[in-house]
Structure 1
Amino acid sequence: MAETTAPAEAHVNGLRAARRSPASHLAEAFAAGSVPGTVELKEIPYQTMVGIRVERGSDAGTRIASVTGGLPASCGDVNGAAVNGAAVLWLGPTEFMVVAPEESHDSLGGSLVSDLTAALGTGEGQVVDLSANRTTFELAGPRARAVLEKSCSLDLHPSVFKTGTALATEIGHIPAVLWKTAEETYRILPRASFAEFLGRWLLDSMREYASPEVP
């Protein structure tokens, strides 16, 4: 067993070492621009993301739901948890995105993509690995909503945009999925090609809170 396990582990470790996340070069800037206890920004790289197009009530939709633990039914709904498990975000009546920890990816020993593909089978729909297509920013703290409100047209008041809600929107004119994972925590999922622009945009929006004059 050890002889077959060791090469597999070496392969996985090699893949991890070779990767560079879309905003890895901004890590120091994110740390320097964050204000602990007020607003903080970081990248959560390498999440497993799978795009799904399927009718919820179809046989294929039922099979996929058995893998994901369910498909959300309404605009903004999320099934599952943001941490330590897979979550399914509603993006449209027949469009969903599964977000799961990196180890869920088939290349790292998981089976999420292949399980979803097998569940779809010959049914009408689509399962696409989007893991390299997007990255994830996490913006957290009492001023996180104020930072987002500078350039996002959604009504982010807690009575409207509640914890556990995810919507496709624009932030700084950049298309992204905005997901509220806790009362003062938001995850922002831009396409990888826009990661640097949006990361720097958020840093600029946070700048006023780094001033000693701001209470």
Structure 2
Amino acid sequence: MSTESHSRSALADLYLPGETSLQRGHHERVLLAECPDVALAILRLPAQAGTAHQAIAEAVGVPLPKVPNTVGSRDGLTILWLSPDEWLLRADPAAGADWAARCETALADQNWFAVTDQSSAYSVLQLAGPQARDVLNAGCPLDLHPRALAPGQCAQTLFFKFSIVLRPLTAAGDAWEVLVRRSHADALVRMVLADDYFL
């Protein structure tokens, strides 16, 4: 499976002249930034396939999280628990280009598994700044205080009417990653940018 993608960004219609990725706001309040170089894949594997779980951990250096809504990370690769038999793998360029192939090789003797490229299916955004949590609170029903959702955790939730995967990046609650389906990304970002924090 290849996770390399050269598709047009879902947010390209919002770019200013000369921009190659979206960035709006200011770090003193809240900054919204697109993360265009992130590769994504969904891993499906039986929850009880212990040897396969171990094989993945050895292949990529990150154990599959087993506790619901938790995250494991190392050397640019982050694995988010989505369900007992499903994980989202998120890779920065630092993770290298072969991490997905290593997963497939490690599972070659398994009867049931899937590693599916999702890099073009989602947009990855980051919100950062002292008012980042306020922006999310306006449309998310979850308690976003660090005592309820802290680094090392993730949540599948709604932001207004949009399904998202949300991950806090700091213990202070001032930096967040938002994964949203590509087809919803433009509308979600336009809604965020209409907030007073960005005017």
TM (normalized to structure 2)?
A: 0.84
Given residue 190 of structure 1, which amino acid in structure 2 is its aligned partner? V
1:39 paired to 2:26: no
CA distance in 2, matches of 1:147, 1:160: 17
Give the aligned partner of residue 114 of structure 1: 101
> What residue is the counterpart of 2:154 in the other structure?
166
Distance 1:150 1:129 in 2: 32
Bigger share in helix: 1
1:60 aligns with 2:52: yes
Q: 8 Å contact 2:53–2:63 — kept in the other structure?
A: no
Give the total of aligned pairs.
187
Aligned partner of 1:99 in structure 2 is 90
Out of 188, 208, 212, the position equivalent to 2:178 is 188
Superposition deviation, residue 161 in structure 1: 0.9
Residues 1:155 and 2:147 are matched in the alignment? no
Which structure 1 residue ranges, 5 or more long, are not aligned?
1-14
* Structure 1 length-normalised TM: 0.78
CA shift digits 1:57-91 (9 cap, x unpaired)? 4122221222232011212211015xx51010011
Structure 2 gaps, min length 5: none
Contact 2:73–2:79 (Cα < 8 Å) also in 1: yes
1:175 to 153, 163, 169: 163
The superposition leaves residues 25-49 of structure 1 with CA deviations (integer Å, 9 ceiling, x where unpaired) of 3244964x51331111010013111
Greater share of strand: 2
Which stretch shows the higher mean deviation, 193-202 or 58-67?
58-67
Q: Percent identity?
A: 28
Q: In terms of Rg, which structure is larger?
A: 1
DSSP-derived class of the 2:76 partner: coil
